[in-house]
Amino acid sequence: MIKVNGIDIEADGTIFAGKSVAEYLSTTNYDCKRIAVERNGDIVPKAKYGETLLAEGDSLEVVSFVGGG
């Protein structure tokens, strides 16, 4: 199981283990300029989305920012 923001993203049978963070994000509506991604509690550097591979048991947190302040 791989969780993003607490939800199992493989629940529908799609396998993300072995795919990169960038590949996962491309299946979503996230705007990459407005997000921060944490993997198992550590920030995934923006420059490493392509080379950071997801593994079974991973827990991702994608924080998407909205405007206002």
Partner 1 sequence: MSADCVQRAPTREEMLAALVVRQGEENVKKLQAATVAVCGLGGLGSNVAIALARAGVGRLVLVDFDCVDVTNLHRQQYKACQVGMPKAVALPENLREIAPYIELESHQVRVTEENVMELVGKADVVCEAFDNAEAKAMLVNAALENCKVLVAASGMAGFGDANSIQTRRVSKNFYLCGDGVSDVNAGIGLVAPRVMACAAHEAQTIVRLICGLEP
Q: Is 13 in the site for partner 1 (CB under 8 A)?
A: no
Report the distance separating Cα 41 and Cα 26, nearest Å: 22
Size of the site for partner 1 (CB under 8 A): 18
Residue (13 or 68) nearer to partner 1, CB: 68
> Between residues 10 and 61, which has the closer beta carbon with respect to partner 1?
61
Q: Is 6 in the site for partner 1 (CB under 8 A)?
A: no
Residues 6+ apart with CB under 8 A from 19: 53, 54
Nearest to partner 1 of 12, 42 (CB atom): 42
